[in-house]
A and B are shown apart, each in its own frame.
Chain A
Amino acid sequence: MAAYLSVEDVVKDFSGVKAVNHVSLDINKGEIFALLGSSGCGKTTLLRMLAGFEAPSSGRIVLDGTDLAEMEPYSRPINMMFQSYALFPHLSVWENIAFGLKREGMAKPKIAERVDAMLKLVQLGGYAQRKPHQLSGGQQQRVALARSLAKAPQLLLLDEPLGALDKKLREETQIELTNIIRNVGVTCVMVTHDQEEAMTMATRIAVMSEGRILQVGAPAEVYETPATRFVADFIGNVNLMDGTLTVDQPDHCVIECADCKHYVGHGITGTEGMTVSVAIRPEKIHLSRHAPPDEFNRACGTVKAMAYFGSFTVYHLALASGAALKVSVNNLQRHRDDEIVAGDTVWAHWSRNAHVVLTQ
């Protein structure tokens, strides 16, 4: 299947600094695609090139067979929901949503029909005559969404769609926003620095750093099988351990690190003796007071600190070599008789499928 939107080897050069560096992406129709990265990674520049506010220094952007290069922002079949919304402060909610339709020269009764439908879609029926400053942050966000969907764009761009909302509201809105976009069926590219936002909303994620795309994949794929140390470290929490590959068989391999020996339940493409990194997520490690019988996949350490998050607690262990190990334990019971506290010496252990072996 040919991609609906394809970004082909796009470069954006800001006086010698490559904000976007040879990026290629294929995005399918109906997909919610997230560009994830920390600030300055080039994700916003890429989005602005899609919207037409910046022109690529080289490369092509093709939407549904049409090259966007020569198209002005106002003639592209693309609409954007801006960061902190950029609602027109002097216009009412109704006029904000109607703005794009009026520019199309749509007939008045049709505009009214469309705006009402949009207001209904975002559940703001009674707010048509309010001004943006009379709305809460969540309501403003919905007006912005309605405004960007009103023209039924072929591509919807979201710039940090939930960045201006507080945490509680953000979680509710993530699901609501995703449902609306899915129902409308519009193809969507969003930019975010918030990995939770990307993972809950997107069908696929592209992790960006320094103008390049490091990995593209479904949320679970990016989280569970990161391609590089950077991606493993950037998405979620991770323990990274450097070690030497000592055994490499088709069905398993062994990696020796300073504090432990890893027995990994699959082979890797490498040569024995090479240096590799092992990444293990904190929630895949278990704690016990007694030494596990198996000599592999265990490490002994002292609890240096613990962070209580309510549903889970993160223990920071100091291993014999001085390396730190983060272990996340779900708080399944309200009180435990044998609670592990700071200063205790404990064993950490994990299964043979917990690892990701990284060679780059």
Chain B
Amino acid sequence: MPALKSAPSEPRKGLAGRVHGLLRGRSVVIGLPYGWLLAFFMAPFLIVLNYSISEMGAVRPENIVTLGDGVMKLSIKFGNYLAIFGDALYVKAYLSSLKYAAITTVVCLVLGYPFAYFMARAKPALQPALLMAVMLPFWTSFLLRVYAWKGLLDEGGLVSDFLLATGLDGWMAASGMIGTPGKFMNTPFSLVIGMSYTYLPFMILPLYANLAKMDLRLLEAAADLGASRFKAFWLITVPLSRAGIIAGAMLVFIPCVGEYVIPELLGGPQTLMIGRVLWDEFFSNNDWPMASTVAVVLVLLIVVPLAIFNKYQAEAQERGR
């Protein structure tokens, strides 16, 4: 091997050199975002957690740990947590948040999968344009776009008129999607439409990324072995896109559970979601400990099942996916 005339850096000497090298390179790249998350996510979360488990003083919460007369006292208040699980309002709000997030995720999957599939199988020259079409909504204000649905769904709106003309509203009212026939705004229907519309790209993009890299010869192999096109899709494409389905579902489900703006604009009395409760506790009731408790429970509600799921996934991977 020819000797390099200009070495990229001076040879590092010993531990000091190594530490120096680490500080300069990798650790900065990794450290910066971690530092950011630590300062602006982890620390605030701990403050919120602190609020939820301490006795409220006049302005700020009391310290959890107190020292006096040679005794260290640890006082954790879990009354707020008991209150949440004892109060039907909170439980109902959590459950309906999970319900509407789940419905939205399913709707996005049903709408997004075929789209992502045909985008991934489209002519390579066409794909960037299709991808752009998926991202295009992000170019206008999210609020405006959600607000626009009001115009479409209100009486005299395009979608409203269309649904009335087809007579679907009676069936929708019967199935509980809307309260009374002919009124589409501020119903579970308008809420799910708004959330599905907003989060659809988050379902499509990971699915597309997954489906685009699939080895198409596997489908030929399936056809060669006697599988019809539908069978090949169901037995090969869908299982192989599982990672994309999971990623897309998480990207839709998690923000939907805590969604505040869309239920506020498009939801109604039937669709009380936890984001609304959280807002009320903070800004209407000014009950910060209770609000913090609601927030902590919400995080646990999402993080714990996810952690279990991830662990299961990792184990499945170990066993050989």
Contact = CB atoms under 8 A, between A and B. Distances in A.
A215 to B, nearest CB: 29
Which of A72, A73, A131, A148 has the most chain B CB atoms closer than 10 A to its own CB? A73
A74 B219 CA distance: 11
A74 B226 contact: yes
B224 interface: yes
B4 interface: no
Interface stretch (A75-83, A317-325, A329-337): A75-83
Interface in A145-181: 147-148, 151
A148 B221 CA distance: 9
Which of B220, B228, B240 has the most chain A CB atoms closer than 10 A to its own CB? B220
Contact of A88 (B221, B228, B231): B221
Given A51-B224, A133-B320, A103 B240 contact: no
Interface string A45-86: 000000111000000000000000000111100111011001
A89 interface: yes
A131 B320 contact: yes
Nearest to B226: A103
A147 B225 contact: yes
A318 B236 CA distance: 59
Contacts of A151: 225-226
A73 B221 CA distance: 10
B164 to A, nearest CB: 45
Contacts of B224: 51, 73-74, 78-80, 82, 148
A103 B321 contact: no
Contacts of B227: 74, 99, 103
Nearest to B224: A80
Which of B226, B236, B240 has the most chain A CB atoms closer than 10 A to its own CB? B226
Interface in A79-127: 79-80, 82-83, 86-90, 99-100, 103-104
A297 B240 CA distance: 65
A130 interface: yes
A134 B320 contact: yes
B226 A86 contact: no
Contact of A75 (B226, B236, B239): B226
A142 to B, nearest CB: 16
Interface string B202-236: 00000000000001011011111111100100011
Contacts of A100: 225-226
A86 B221 contact: yes
Given A90-B240, A130-B320, A131-B321, A79 B225 contact: yes
B108 to A, nearest CB: 24
B217 A90 contact: no
A82 B320 contact: no
A73 B321 contact: no
B225 A86 contact: no
A79 B320 CA distance: 28
A260 B221 CA distance: 55
Contacts of A147: 225
A51 B221 CA distance: 10
Given A88-B218, A133-B320, A134-B320, A99 B225 contact: yes
Contacts of B228: 74
B217 A82 contact: yes
B226 A104 contact: yes
A131 B226 CA distance: 21
Given A74-B223, A79-B225, A100-B226, A86 B320 contact: no
Contacts of B222: 88, 99
B210 to A, nearest CB: 13
Nearest to A51: B224
A80 B220 CA distance: 10
A204 B227 CA distance: 32
A151 B227 CA distance: 13
A119 B235 CA distance: 22
Contacts of B215: 86
Interface in B167-224: 215, 217-218, 220-224
A345 B281 CA distance: 101
B57 to A, nearest CB: 57
20 contacts: A73-B220, A73-B223, A73-B224, A74-B225, A74-B228, A79-B224, A80-B221, A80-B224, A86-B215, A86-B220, A86-B221, A88-B221, A88-B236, A90-B240, A90-B321, A100-B225, A103-B231, A134-B320, A148-B224, A151-B225
Interface of B: 215, 217-218, 220-228, 231, 235-236, 239-240, 242, 320-321
Q: Which 9 A-B pairs rank lowest in CB-CB distance, beginning with the nearest? A: A100-B225, A103-B226, A86-B221, A73-B223, A86-B217, A131-B320, A74-B223, A90-B239, A74-B226
Given A72-B223, A151-B225, 16 more contacts: A52-B223, A53-B220, A73-B224, A75-B226, A78-B224, A79-B224, A82-B217, A87-B221, A89-B218, A89-B240, A90-B239, A90-B242, A99-B227, A99-B235, A103-B226, A103-B227
